[in-house]
Structure 1
Amino acid sequence: MERIDEFRNALSVHISELNIKPMVNSVSQHPEEFPDIYKLTSDSKLSVSWRALWVCEKLSEVHPGWFIPLYDELIGRLLNCTHDGSKRLYLSILFNLPVKEPVSVPLLNFCFDRMFSPAESIGVQALCIKMAYRLCEKEPELMGELRIILESAETEFFTKGVATAIRNTLKKMKSSHQPSPWENEL
């Protein structure tokens, strides 16, 4: 039996984080297995592809370099994804990677469009806020727009997870804010 078949069989049944850790460790110790686990993120069986993405999310935390060549592909998959759990995992993987320059406008638009969308899960909304901030760090002229959007959000109407993402992002903005030369003159 090939390794990809072993992974598929393991991902075909209900699993928890306890089941994920051994797969992450195995792939970490045998990087040649990474293409197999990544290939399963496109499996025709949604539960297998979602669970393979979960493994990839954990791998992206310890081996972000493995995903850098896949950056544009991951964005494309995210933009076409309809499964909430998979969207959250794609965003999480992308969040673990260095931001590619120039900044992906489709990714930034995705984040702006979905950060407060009631059609999205709490996890997707919160990650969109965090990812938008990371992208705007590379495009400082957009940081003001993000600040206005976040400051105008009435956090009492959002879930705790989204409200916390808003507050924490605004705190980061304030702590990293460096006044413009003309602000000192005002």
Structure 2
Amino acid sequence: MSSTDNTENTHLTHVREDGSAHMVDVTAKSETSRTAVATGRVRTREDVLDMIFDPANEGLPKGDALPVARVAGIMGAKKTPEIIPLCHPLPLGKITVDFTREADAVRIEASVKTRGVTGVEMEALTAVTSAALTVYDMIKAVDKHAVIDDIRVLAKSGGKSGDWDVR
């Protein structure tokens, strides 16, 4: 992991001294370019992966899962402040959602960019989660035991706390 600042905050920024939650004041922060990358997986059987990644799109009752999940991920990132109560609305400049086949999973990676006063980690996580939920919805007729897991931030850049990347 590389970082320009290896220190961790020792307090929760969304909690006041009296213990109540609040939205952090970002009005004094400098506007910078910010990026976050998140990942997650939908674990399923090999035959289901064959259906998901079939270029002819045959086999899944609901249709082509990945294009639908990509749009869901993009929409999820855009709706983050409506889902996560203390997130600031941000002007998102770019959102990408990509899928990779693994031996037992669909790996989802989302990248979100903005120019603003706060980071886009929550938007990247929401994109991955929305895409994963959509993949699950698209395959549940053939694998109701699929598992969504390993959702996490891989990298961020911009802002006072610096850049880091665990890829």
Q: TM-score, normalised by structure 1?
A: 0.23
Higher-RCO chain (CA-CA 8 Å, sequence separation at least 6): 2
Q: Which structure is higher in helix share? A: 1
Higher strand share: 2
